[in-house]
């Protein structure tokens, strides 16, 4: 009995006693992206201050521009609010969007990013999942700012469907724009640097757009810059959706802006990601 048992044990391959079950399969693109999206959602729960601070600035701009400049720019605060609110919705998501790069850079500086790179997973899901996880953050902020606009007198002629369409488009725009901040988060040395860069980039982009005024009132050279700004095309698309008079040209302009951001910054982010992984 003893010799039989000994012979059987000797025939087993080395390490067989440690094998208790089959090795799990490598997570695919969907599973990896969903896991990191869920992680991004949990960050909102543990750090809600990022969410609150993200729509405080758009709320402040809504109040200031409506009541201080609305009469001078549009003749009445009510008329100007109809023009301003779609731009404020775009501004809301891009202000939140910068936290994508800050969060990624925080993971890098704390060493968590190195652990993720060592996992047997679909690597792009680390970046894409974080962007998808911000969907809830955008939705909450957009609802809050829209409710404020309605309380102040904003009446979207496109109705509920128009507003929902604007929300969906903004989710797409934010996802594409987020790759720019992923690239910044992978290059810069600290979260503070990403925050400073985002402020330096976002404020000129916002003010050199049609968020607050139409480019028709600007000098020719400045109008050309504004018309090339992807934020301008996003605002035009959202205005068309909320007003219920979106044209195919406006929609195409918004989608081209999204595609341009994605084509430029998604490959750049993945290149920087792979370069960092090889170090």
Could you please report the per-residue DSSP string of 145-203?
Answer: HHHHHHHHT---TTHHHHHHHHHHHHHHHHHHHHHHHHHHHHHSSSHHHHHHHHHHHHH
Distance CA 41, CA 178 (A): 16
Distance CA 200, CA 181 (A): 13
- The model's pLDDT over 91-110, given as tens digits with 9 standing for 90+, comes to 989 888 888 888 888 877 87
Per-residue pLDDT at 243: 93
Tokens coding 123: 């690597």
Distance CA 183, CA 173 (A): 16
Least confident residue range of 35-44, 56-65, 79-88: 35-44
Percentage of the chain lying above the pLDDT 90 cut: 34
CB atoms within 10 A of CB 20: 5
Q: Are the CB atoms for 227 and 215 separated by under 8 Å?
A: yes
Q: Could you tell me which residue, 42 or 258, shows the higher pLDDT?
A: 258
Annotated domain spans of the chain: 27-277
Residue 44 C-alpha from the chain's centroid: 14
- The model's pLDDT over 244-273, given as tens digits with 9 standing for 90+, comes to 999 999 999 999 999 999 999 999 988 888
Least confident residue range of 118-132, 188-202, 220-234: 118-132
Tokens coding 229: 């700004």
């Amino acid at each position: 009995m003893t010799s039989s048992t000994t012979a059987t044990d000797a025939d087993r391959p080395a390490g067989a006693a440690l094998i208790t079950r089959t090795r799990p399969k490598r997570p695919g693109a969907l599973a990896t992206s969903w896991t990191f999206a869920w992680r991004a959602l949990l960050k909102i729960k543990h750090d809600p201050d990022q969410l609150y601070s993200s729509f405080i600035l758009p709320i402040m701009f809504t109040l200031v521009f409506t009541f201080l400049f609305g009469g001078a720019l549009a003749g009445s605060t009510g008329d100007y609010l109809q023009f301003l609110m779609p731009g404020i919705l775009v501004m809301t998501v891009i202000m939140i969007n910068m936290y994508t790069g800050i969060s990624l850079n925080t993971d890098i500086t704390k060493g968590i990013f190195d652990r993720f790179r060592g996992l047997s997973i679909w690597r792009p899901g680390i970046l894409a999942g974080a962007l998808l996880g911000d969907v809830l953050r955008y939705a909450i902020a957009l609802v809050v700012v829209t409710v404020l606009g309605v309380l102040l007198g904003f009446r979207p002629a496109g109705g509920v469907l128009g507003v929902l369409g604007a929300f969906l488009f903004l989710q797409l725009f934010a996802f594409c724009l987020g790759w720019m901040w992923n690239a910044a988060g992978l290059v810069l040395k600290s979260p503070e640097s990403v925050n400073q860069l985002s402020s330096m980039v976002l404020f000129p982009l916002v003010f050199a757009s049609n968020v607050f005024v139409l480019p028709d009132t600007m000098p020719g050279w400045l109008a050309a810059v504004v018309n090339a700004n992807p934020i301008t095309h996003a605002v035009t698309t959202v205005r068309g959706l909320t007003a219920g008079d979106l044209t195919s040209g406006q929609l195409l302009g918004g989608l081209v802006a999204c595609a341009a951001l994605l084509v430029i910054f998604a490959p750049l982010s993945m290149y920087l990601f792979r370069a960092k992984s090889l170090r």
